Amino acid sequence: MLKLFEHDKLDVNNLTPEQTAIEVRKLNLHFGEKQVLEDINMLIPKNQVTALIGQSGCGKSSLISCFNRMNDLLHGCEVSGQVLISGNDIYHRKQNVATLRTRVGMVFQKPNPFPMSVFENVAYGLKLQGVQQRRKLDDAVEQALRETGLWKEVRDRLFESALTLSGGQQQRMVIARALALKPEILLLDEPTSALDPLATLHIEELLNQLKMQHTVIIVTHNMQQAARVSDYTAFIHEGKIIEYSDSDSLFTMPKRKQTESYITGRYG
Amino acid sequence: MVNGKFNHEQKQSMVTSLTAAVAGFLVLVLIALSFFILVRGGSFFWPQSIQTIIFQQSNGSYQTQYVKLDAKTMRVGEEIMHYRFSSAQQLFSGQLTLKQSSIISAEISPDVAIIELNNGGTVIAKVASINDATGNTLGMQAFEAVQGNIVKLIASTELIRKGELADIHRALASLDRRGVKADAPARVKLSKRFYELQDSLEEVEQELAGFTLNVAFADGSIYPLNMREISDVSFPNSMGLTDKMLSALSAFAAFISDSPKLNNTSGGVFPALFGTIVMVLLMTIFVTPFGVLAAVYLHEYAPRNKMTALIRISVNNLAGVPSIVYGVFGLGFFVYVVGANIDKLLFSDDLPAATFGAPGIFWASLTMAILTLPVVIVATEEGLRRVPQSLRDGSYALGATQAETIFKMILPIASPGIMTGVILAIARGAGEVAPLMLIGAVKFAPALPIDAEFPFVHLQRQFMHLGVLIYDGAFHSQNIGNGSSFIFACCMLLLLMVLSLNLIAIFIRNRLRKQYAQN
């Protein structure tokens, strides 16, 4: 409860450009006829953990998919508005999507290790960037695995198949795989929903360390988790941001009725 | 009231029994097929006993012959025996067709020999004696020593021919070109040496001709066989089981390493085996990248619309086009259009003799590649479909482009599926005969498609193919006996070849599966 007495929380509606990692302006997203996101405007603070909460199908996963343009892969998906990262609109037609995704890493709900060795998995992104030198790869892999606290567990089996790891280890390896590229922003789409409590704890601890170097955005169903790990929280309902503020205020003194109903479990 | 007759469990067990019966029938058919081919093919190699029969001729007189049984047939309630025998007139092509009733006696005497000649023929007779070059008569025990002698003599003549004699030929030829006078000292010296060598060769040849193996036929007549023509003498009647097995093994080894003899009815099938394997491998080299790339486009890039569906349906239907149609296409398009134009552009010096404008192994394997293309495309697409979306997303999320994702992630994971396609393509390609006969497979090809002659790989050459050999043999020897077990032996070999190619491919697939297993 120490957090309650911290008063260095930023006002998410008035961030300076230096404090901002992502600026979303008038973002609308359609899947064919269906409008999934409606007029989203938000500023996401740098080097903080921001959580997106809301019911299933409310559009929170679609929103973080906009941040690294994973939505492009889906048929019939149309985006309008702007998403600015370091001042550049990522939906600009000159934006290279592959480069964007190296800067904005993403981790999915279910661990998706590639059927290769642990080393190959973590080095996959770097090799795509043209890093061939064995030394550089070795160092980067070790560093990424250390960052996720996995190094001690897997250093003797780096060249064994990644599928032999446990679910929690796999998910941390997937995070390490994204971290190897040194992204500014890390998107996590319900990263612990397929994991057991202990593995979840590991990941939550990890998120706290990660925010030193990266901006972390996490989508979660689990409100306790959002309250535990995040500095800021946005509540999304039916494609709109209902309330967005620092987590302590949002979970203790929600300003909107809908938010209160949701966090107290009256619906959703 | 059919529904009321049986209870639920009875119905269940009926369905189980029905499916099990069908599966069992299938296994039976498979066993019967391989057993039949193996037995008939294997009997080609198994040393057969030689009978000494006494039979009544149509004019009432009696005759004795050493015979080998080729086949038995039934005609009007009586068994007809088809025998092979040798005589001075018909050294290895004598055939006897006798009614069972006309055979007075049949026995097996241990000292009748089968003498195999280098030209592929076999002589059935008793061995009487050996004559050496000086006319001395030796016993059979000297056989190996004499044979060793002959090998040495032949080797020495080859050495002279290919060594010194060839050098002198070349030197003389170059002297000619420089316009050296006929009586120039160098030329005279060379010519003299040339004639000396010729003489010594002739001497050796004469000595060689002096070695004869005298064989006795059943009627008591003696026939001298030239020793240098003989490759092997065996006594099947006095062989034990082990000897017979060893003999069968060495016969099999000879079968797969020798050239065909006596109009493809005897000898080995090495050129056909080699041609088949080279054709199948070339086909695999052509079809795999083609099929994989086409499948990648259809599954990964093509928009999901009616056009793509139409293309997919057409590809599937291509698999059902009769193979002879592909053969005609290969001949009409590849050989007469593409090949003829290649000749015009690149080999115009050789025209009108065709280089690529004639049927050959290159066009044959290309045609077979087109024939097996649908199989590879369908199997590859199936493999691509099995790569989960989560892995693709994972790759994209790490900054991979679509091409990088396909070639670094999806294709390796789909590789077992691709191998399945390749296995099916090999099985289909190796067994196909009809199109090959139009586009390059021939009854007898003097040269192999790959040999020691520059540029080592001769893709324009015609080639021999096991399937074509079988077809040809079956078509040309409708009469029983001669060559029919040769055909079965070819069938067995073809079966073994397809099986081993498949086993290799399956082995590779299993390794890939293990490497890229998903959970």
* Mean pLDDT for the stretch of residues B441-457: 79
Torsion of CA B300, B306, B308, B312, to 10 degrees: 120
Phi, psi values for residue B359, rounded to 5°: -55, 140
> B55 with B467: CB under 8 angstroms?
no
- Identify the pLDDT of residue A1: 46
The answer to whether the Cα torsion of B139, B145, B148, B149 is positive or negative is: negative
Beta-carbon separation of B397 and A98 below 8 A: no
H or E element that contains B232: strand B230-234
Phi, psi values for residue B506, rounded to 5°: -65, -40
Indicate the burial class of B177 (C-beta count within 10 angstroms; 0-12, 13-18, 19 or more). exposed
Asked if the model's pLDDT at residue A16 lies above 50, the reply is yes
Torsion of CA B197, B201, B203, B206, to 10 degrees: -160
Residues whose CB falls within 8 Å of the CB of residue A67, separated by 6 or more in sequence, listed in order: A22, A83, A85, A90, A104, A185, A187, A217
> 3-state class of A145 per DSSP?
helix
CB neighbourhood size of A123 (10 A):
23
> A139 with A147: CB under 8 angstroms?
no
B164 pLDDT band, cuts 50/70/90, is confident
Whether the CB of A124 is below 8 Å from some CB of chain B: the reply is yes
* Mean pLDDT for the stretch of residues B446-468: 81
Residue with token string 């690149």: B346
Mean pLDDT of chain A: 87
B519 CA to chain A: closest CA distance, Å? 6
Whether the CB of B224 is below 8 Å from some CB of chain A: the reply is no
A128 CA to chain B: closest CA distance, Å? 7
Q: How far apart are the first and last CA of chain A?
A: 26
- Identify the pLDDT of residue A170: 92
Asked if the model's pLDDT at residue A8 lies above 80, the reply is no
Omega within 30 of 0 (cis) for the link into B449: no
- Is the pTM of the predicted complex or chain greater than 0.90? no
- CA-nearest of B52, B91, B50, B90 to B70 is B50
Which of these ranges, A223-237, B125-139, B249-263, B325-339, has the smallest mean pLDDT?
A: B125-139
Chain A residues inside the 8 Å CB shell of B407: none
Residue with token string 């006319």: B135
- Identify the pLDDT of residue B333: 92
Distance, CA of B385 to CA of B375 (rounded, Å): 15
Whether the CB of A1 is below 8 Å from some CB of chain B: the reply is no
Asked if the model's pLDDT at residue A115 lies above 80, the reply is yes
Phi, psi values for residue A41, rounded to 5°: -130, 120
Distance, CA of B145 to CA of B200 (rounded, Å): 23
- Identify the pLDDT of residue B381: 93
Structure tokens at A185: 């922003």
B516 CA to chain A: closest CA distance, Å? 5
Whether the CB of B519 is below 8 Å from some CB of chain A: the reply is yes
Structure tokens at B283: 């086909």
Asked if the model's pLDDT at residue B469 lies above 90, the reply is no
Beta-carbon separation of B518 and A115 below 8 A: yes
pLDDT, tens digit, 9 for 90 and up, residues A83-106: 998 888 888 888 888 889 999 999
Structure tokens at A216: 């972390």
B292 pLDDT band, cuts 50/70/90, is very high
Task: Name the DSSP class of A214.
Answer: S
Distance, CA of B394 to CA of B216 (rounded, Å): 83
Tell me the ipTM for this assembly.
0.89
Cα R_g (chain A), whole angstroms? 18
pLDDT, tens digit, 9 for 90 and up, residues A143-165: 999 888 889 989 899 998 888 89
Distance, CA of B195 to CA of B199 (rounded, Å): 6
Beta-carbon separation of B404 and A128 below 8 A: yes
Distance, CA of A20 to CA of A60 (rounded, Å): 20
* Minimum Cα–Cα distance from B518: chain A residue: A115
**Hey, which residues 25-64 in chain A have their CB within 8 Å of chain B?**
none
- Identify the pLDDT of residue B90: 79
Residues whose CB falls within 8 Å of the CB of residue A205, separated by 6 or more in sequence, listed in order: A149
Which of these ranges, A103-112, A178-187, B156-165, B196-205, has the smallest mean pLDDT?
A: B156-165
> B389 with B368: CB under 8 angstroms?
no
- Identify the pLDDT of residue B519: 52
Distance, CA of A212 to CA of A3 (rounded, Å): 17
Per-residue CA distances from A207 to A137, A228, B160 (Å): 24, 11, 87
Please tell me which of the candidates A102, A112, A115 has its beta carbon nearest to residue B399.
A102
Structure tokens at B174: 């170059």
Distance, CA of A256 to CA of A250 (rounded, Å): 9
Beta-carbon separation of B398 and A163 below 8 A: no
- Identify the pLDDT of residue A7: 53
> 3-state class of B299 per DSSP?
helix
Mean pLDDT of chain B: 84
Q: Which residue has the higher pLDDT, A11 or B252?
A: B252
Residues whose CB falls within 8 Å of the CB of residue B449, separated by 6 or more in sequence, listed in order: B274, B275, B278, B361, B457, B458, B459, B461, B463
Chain A residues inside the 8 Å CB shell of B401: 98
A258 CA to chain B: closest CA distance, Å? 34
Chain A residues inside the 8 Å CB shell of B396: 70, 73, 101
Amino acid found at B146: V
> 3-state class of B298 per DSSP?
helix
Distance, CA of A189 to CA of A206 (rounded, Å): 15
A11 CA to chain B: closest CA distance, Å? 31
Q: Select from B398, B516, B519 the residue whose CB has the most chain A CBs within 10 Å, as the one to mutate to test that interface.
A: B398
Instruction: Determine the length of chain B.
Output: 519
* Mean pLDDT for the stretch of residues B226-237: 82
Asked if the model's pLDDT at residue B478 lies above 60, the reply is no
> B186 with B161: CB under 8 angstroms?
no
Per-residue CA distances from B309 to A112, B220, B303, B305, B312 (Å): 31, 79, 10, 6, 5
B374 pLDDT band, cuts 50/70/90, is very high
Chain B residues inside the 8 Å CB shell of A106: 397
CB neighbourhood size of B189 (10 A):
12
Can you list the alpha helix ranges (DSSP code H) found in B108-184? 143-160, 166-177
Beta-carbon separation of A70 and B399 below 8 A: no
Distance, CA of B450 to CA of B461 (rounded, Å): 9
- Identify the pLDDT of residue B457: 78
Whether the CB of A159 is below 8 Å from some CB of chain B: the reply is no
Indicate the burial class of B467 (C-beta count within 10 angstroms; 0-12, 13-18, 19 or more). buried
Beta-carbon separation of A105 and B518 below 8 A: no
Residues whose CB falls within 8 Å of the CB of residue B425, separated by 6 or more in sequence, listed in order: B283, B284, B287, B291, B372, B375, B376
> 3-state class of A243 per DSSP?
strand
What percentage of chain B exceeds 90 in pLDDT? 24
- Identify the pLDDT of residue B331: 93
What percentage of chain B exceeds 70 in pLDDT? 95
Instruction: Determine the length of chain A.
Output: 268
Whether the CB of B345 is below 8 Å from some CB of chain A: the reply is no
* Mean pLDDT for the stretch of residues B495-502: 87
pLDDT, tens digit, 9 for 90 and up, residues B95-126: 888 888 888 888 888 888 888 888 878 888 88
* Minimum Cα–Cα distance from A171: chain B residue: B394
Asked if the model's pLDDT at residue B477 lies above 70, the reply is no
Distance, CA of B131 to CA of B136 (rounded, Å): 6
CB neighbourhood size of A238 (10 A):
15
**Hey, which residues 263-322 in chain B have their CB within 8 Å of chain A?**
304
Q: How far apart are the first and last CA of chain B?
A: 50
**What are the CB-based long-range contacts (under 8 Å, 24+) for B201-206?**
B201/B157, B201/B160, B201/B161, B201/B165, B204/B153, B204/B156, B204/B157, B205/B157, B206/B133
* Mean pLDDT for the stretch of residues A162-181: 91
Asked if the model's pLDDT at residue B354 lies above 80, the reply is no
Residues whose CB falls within 8 Å of the CB of residue B173, separated by 6 or more in sequence, listed in order: none
